[in-house]
Amino acid sequence: MKIMFYLSSCDSCRRIIKELNLPEEVTLQDIKKVPLSSAQLKALQELSGSYEALFSRRARLYTQRKLRDKMLSETDYRDMLLEHYSFLKRPVLVLDKEIYIGNSAQTVAAAKEALSR
């Protein structure tokens, strides 16, 4: 599976997609238009090791719901990731058995290297 989960309205996602120059075999899925399915999320969790690794603490809903003050379980993370697209740390690039989560320079560089192999 070669897929990138992103948000089309996110400047960072658009910049990274352009920077990575993704090959045609990588499917782009705008998570606002086509939300993650529970099967997709489970596959991402298996690659990343946890739902928490996929969860964005920068989401507005995270702040609005005062989630910082709560002890969240893996089930809580999963449920919120399925509930609203903004909880997914973006972008998420899956290249077969490798996963690249987020927009840090280090993550983008690692993804770029993987794509050049």
Q: How many domains does the chain have?
A: 1
Please check whether residue 117 lies inside any domain of the structure.
no
Tokens, residue 82: 């399925």
Q: What is the mean pLDDT of each run of 10 residues along the chain (117 residues)?
A: 96 97 97 97 98 96 93 97 97 97 98 95
Other CB atoms within 10 Å distance of the CB of residue 72: 15
Rounded to the nearest 5°, which phi and psi values hold at 66? 55, 45
Give the pLDDT confidence score for residue 83 in this predicted structure.
97
Span 84-117, pLDDT tens digits: 999 999 999 999 999 999 999 999 999 999 999 8
Give the pLDDT confidence score for residue 95 in this predicted structure.
97
Give the pLDDT confidence score for residue 92 in this predicted structure.
98
Give the pLDDT confidence score for residue 66 in this predicted structure.
92
Domain that includes residue 57, residue range: 2-110
CATH number of 20's domain: 3.40.30.10
Give the pLDDT confidence score for residue 29 in this predicted structure.
98
Please check whether residue 116 lies inside any domain of the structure.
no
Q: Is the dihedral of CA 1, 113, 23, 50 positive or negative?
A: positive
Residues 60, 62, 68, CA angle at the centre, nearest 5°?
A: 140
Tokens, residue 95: 């290249």
